[in-house]
Structure 1
Amino acid sequence: MARTRAELLGLLGEVFREHGFEGASLALITARTGLGKGSLYNLFPRGKEEMAAAVLDEIEAWFETTMYRPLREDPDPLAAIAAMFSATDTYFRSGRRVCLVGVFALGEVRDRFASRIDGYFAAWRDALASALERAGRDPADARDRAEEVVSGIQGGLVTARALDDPEVFGRTLRRLEARIAG
């Protein structure tokens, strides 16, 4: 049973990751969180949509604090980029955890959360492009490489999951890091 809001949002996020928005029934949510339907509706009066929005808020805050802001502001952009790759590996549990925003992007709920989904991917690309520019890359090249990295990370997660081989994700991260360092 979740004792804090952060724990509850973590559990909700995992249910959405594993089952998608559509498949995350209240029965699954109550079983995972240990809370009854009444308690859940007391915390989230708009139901599953409000739960998903709260989980997205947590994800956005984590990425902004841990990755986007350092990529945009760290005086050492190369250190920020290296830290981004390390944080990415940690966050996605070395390829054992899918991207919830990616799950929502591919599901029927995509339109409901379109601006949040777009914002997540655009913010990551733009923050990385900013670091690459500050590291001396031409702006157009920085944007292209940043887009390639974010797309590659997402593709690495999907491939690792599809092949049931998390090492695919680690190899993908190493190749992408080497690619933008070159």
Structure 2
Amino acid sequence: MSREKLVGQLVDVFRVYGYDGASLTNIAKATGVGKTNLYHYFPGGKQEMAEAALERVDLWLETSILANLNSKAKPIDKLQTMCEQVKQFFNEGHNSCLWAVLALGRSSNDLFHQQIGRSLCQWIEAIASVLEEAGLENRLAKYRAEDAVLRIQGALVLVRGLDRTEPFLRLMQTLPLELLKSDR
């Protein structure tokens, strides 16, 4: 198995188990790679595996979200594309957010707090820039950008709690226009 494919599987393992719950036994079982071979790919053990998983999510953020939000497209198109990419990445709400899972874990928060915070700030700043480009003043744009990420994360939690994807899908449909409203 390639390291690339293994990292994709690790994202799923840490989404499900978090950092503390992702034992090497769980990781080996979920990936089909023996514990010894896991150390071949990741000599730094579980922490290196989680870092690789976070790097994969950061790569998604950079290539699928930030690149789009920084493009020359119209603001509404940028926001709609962002929501489509979010919907796809989170499997229409069925997948948890790795940032959220790791940020909530007691030991993983200490390990990954700065990396997760940096990624979330980049996302918020990129959304705010799009909203400023659309004519919103800086403070309102920043508020709405934070609110957008907050609502996306909350919708992912709601999907898990209700076992229904409709709230997440509804948000992905309505969020672009709501962010751009001038009377909000």
TM-score (normalizing by structure 2): 0.93
| Equivalence for 1:25 | 23
| Equivalence for 2:117 | 118
- The 5-angstrom pairing of residues 146-165 of structure 1 reads 146-165=145-164
| Equivalence for 1:169 | 168
Task: Classify the secondary structure of the residue corresponding to 2:54.
Answer: helix
Task: Classify the secondary structure of the residue corresponding to 2:177.
Answer: helix
Question: In structure 2, what is the Cα distance between the partners aligned to 1:128 and 1:138?
Answer: 13
CA contact (8 A) 1:69 1:127 kept: no
Quote how far apart the aligned CAs of 1:172 are: 2.4
Query: Is there any run of 5+ residues in structure 2 with no aligned partner, and where?
Result: none
Question: In structure 1, what is the Cα distance between the partners aligned to 2:122 and 2:63?
Answer: 12
| Equivalence for 2:68 | 70
Question: In structure 2, what is the Cα distance between the partners aligned to 1:163 and 1:23?
Answer: 23
Which moves more between the two structures, 171-180 or 151-160?
171-180
- The 5-angstrom pairing of residues 32-181 of structure 1 reads 32-108=30-106, 109-181=108-180
Question: In structure 2, what is the Cα distance between the partners aligned to 1:73 and 1:119?
Answer: 21
Quote how far apart the aligned CAs of 1:75 are: 4.1
CA contact (8 A) 1:152 1:176 kept: no
Question: In structure 1, what is the Cα distance between the partners aligned to 2:76 and 2:167?
Answer: 24
Question: In structure 1, what is the Cα distance between the partners aligned to 2:135 and 2:148?
Answer: 17
Quote how far apart the aligned CAs of 1:81 are: 1.2
Identical positions, percent? 39
Deviations 1:58-92 (A, max 9, x none): 11011111111221233423211110011111111
List, as ranges, runs of 4+ consecutive aligned residues in structure 1 with deviation greater than 4 Å: none
- In the alignment, residue 50 of structure 2 is paired with which amino acid? A
Question: In structure 1, what is the Cα distance between the partners aligned to 2:72 and 2:141?
Answer: 17
- In the alignment, residue 22 of structure 1 is paired with which amino acid? D
What is the Cα-based RMSD across aligned positions, in Å?
1.2
Quote how far apart the aligned CAs of 1:146 are: 0.5
